[in-house]
Amino acid sequence: MNLTDDQIERYSRQILLPHVGGIGQEKLLSAKVLIIGAGGLGSPIAAYMAGAGIGTLGIVDSDVVELSNLHRQIIYSSDDIGKKKAIAAQDRLQKVNPDTKVIPYVLRLTSENIMDIIKDYDVIVDGSDNFPTRYLVNDACILAKKALVHGAFFRFEGQAMVIKLNEGPCYRCLFPEPPPPGTVPSCQEAGILGALAGVIGLIQATETLKLILEIGEPLVGELIVFDALEMSFRKIKIPRDKDCPICGENPTITELIDYEWFCGLKADEIA
């Protein structure tokens, strides 16, 4: 791949970095990243992926843009209200960077469709908003041996980690089971500081770029816990659980399960 003059100018500030250079830029332009959820986390992640020149960017989201999304979902404008998020994101990102091919998936991930969707991507970034999807994505990425960049928030707090099979723990090693339904309020009920979603999303974006560029130390084996009110980042060690049902020594989950059932939910109860 030869960078054009326009590309050299567009990406000059990151090509200048000794860890990136022209070779790193070519890696980014050849990379395929799938973002699950184009909301509070997915919006800033998508914006920076397109900015950095990720070659192929898949965006999974079945929702439409609502007025109450705009305080944190920064890739959308008031004109997008009522449009499918994955499509509105594609329109916006294509203007940010025509080098990035955006593939929208207007659907909800299930045990039936996820393997087929993730198989074409190098890195999966989880910006979903519910436990069934998070466990589904974790298990699918372990089974498909895909790198997964996890992030989640609640009010003024956020968490992030990178999951790479055989190199560190997975989400089930960290939390073997989800909370029962009804015990954890959604952001619709609990509220969210918009900028906090940006902080966590951009930790995920940074880790994704590092994975593609193969630079630095990935956030594997550690959970970042961010507290916006005291403006602190803590890193907590997460050991691999040898008894983990999906990535342990004797896995009991060898194919995808029914995640609504696992999370104590019926499909129509998922927010």
From 17-25, 107-115, 145-153, 205-213, span contacting another protein (CB under 8 A)? 145-153
Helices 85-96 and 42-52 meet at what angle, rounded to 10? Answer: 30
39 binds another protein (CB under 8 A): yes
Question: Between residues 5 and 230, which has the closer beta carbon with respect to another protein?
Answer: 230
CB of 18 to another protein, least distance (A): 32
Number of residues counted as binding another protein (CB under 8 A): 48
CB of 51 to another protein, least distance (A): 20
Question: Between residues 158 and 218, which has the closer beta carbon with respect to another protein?
Answer: 158
As a whole number of angstroms, the distance between CA 266 and CA 188 comes to: 19
The three-point CA angle 156-157-162 to 5° equals: 145
Q: In this structure, which amino acid lies at residue 91?
A: D
As a whole number of angstroms, the distance between CA 233 and CA 226 comes to: 5
Encoded one letter per residue, x for contact with another protein by CB under 8 A and - for no contact, window 213-232 reads ----------x-x-x-xx--
129 binds another protein (CB under 8 A): yes
The kind and range of the H/E element at 152 are: strand 147-154
Q: Indicate if the alpha-carbon torsion angle 183, 184, 187, 190 is positive or negative.
A: positive
Cα 30–chain centre separation: 19
Q: In this structure, which amino acid lies at residue 250?
A: N
Question: Between residues 150 and 164, which has the closer beta carbon with respect to another protein?
Answer: 150
CB 133 within 8 A of CB 89: no
CB of 14 to another protein, least distance (A): 26
In this chain, which of 65, 152, 205, 246 binds another protein, going by CB under 8 A? 152
In this chain, which of 20, 29, 41, 109 binds another protein, going by CB under 8 A? 41
In this chain, which of 81, 144, 187, 215 binds another protein, going by CB under 8 A? 187
CB of 128 to another protein, least distance (A): 5
From 88-96, 174-182, 208-216, 254-262, span contacting another protein (CB under 8 A)? 174-182
CB 59 within 8 A of CB 90: yes
The kind and range of the H/E element at 262 are: helix 259-262
Residue (of 159, 170, 148) closest to 226 by Cα position:
159
The encoded tokens of residue 55 equal 């070659």
Question: Between residues 53 and 127, which has the closer beta carbon with respect to another protein?
Answer: 127
What is the contact surface with another protein in residues (CB under 8 A)?
37, 39-42, 63, 69, 126-131, 134, 151-159, 174-179, 184, 186-188, 190, 192, 197, 223, 225, 227, 229-230, 234-239, 241
